[in-house]
Amino acid sequence: MLKKKDKELEELRKRLSKYEEPPKNSGNSSTPPSKEQMRDEIVRRTKFLRKPSGRKPGGQPGHEGNTLELNDSVDNIVDEKPGMCDECGDSLDGCDTELDYITQII
């Protein structure tokens, strides 16, 4: 019975010592991260990662985008239309083409 209590007391002291003096690392001392052991670095990197929010990355539905406005004072306008089809390679000379996007070079 006495040996059992001594063993239990020793286990509790070990657990308590872990909280009283945590091992020094770059998070709780002036030790730089480059001096840590690899296993400590892996634990440090994975311990404080964000919790997943369940949302997809990027702009969420309903979010207003932040795009660069087109400049009002334009020096030169170049109307470039493709000469041939990207898919089949046929000439587009007789076709009516319509621009589906505008680019601006600053």
Coil, helix or strand for 84? Answer: strand
pLDDT of residue 8: 93
Q: Contact, 16 vs 9, CB < 8 A?
A: no
Indicate if the pLDDT at residue 25 is higher than 90. Answer: no
Q: Full-prediction pTM beyond 0.75?
A: no
End-to-end CA distance of the chain: 85
Which amino acid, residue 57? Answer: P
* Sequence ranges of the domains in the chain: 15-45
Q: State pLDDT tens for residues 66-102.
A: 888 888 888 888 877 778 888 888 888 877 777 777 8
User: Among 53, 36, 54, which Cα is nearest to 45's?
Assistant: 36
Residue 84 pairs with which residues in a beta bridge?
A: 91
d(CA 16, CA 12): 6
pLDDT of residue 40: 67
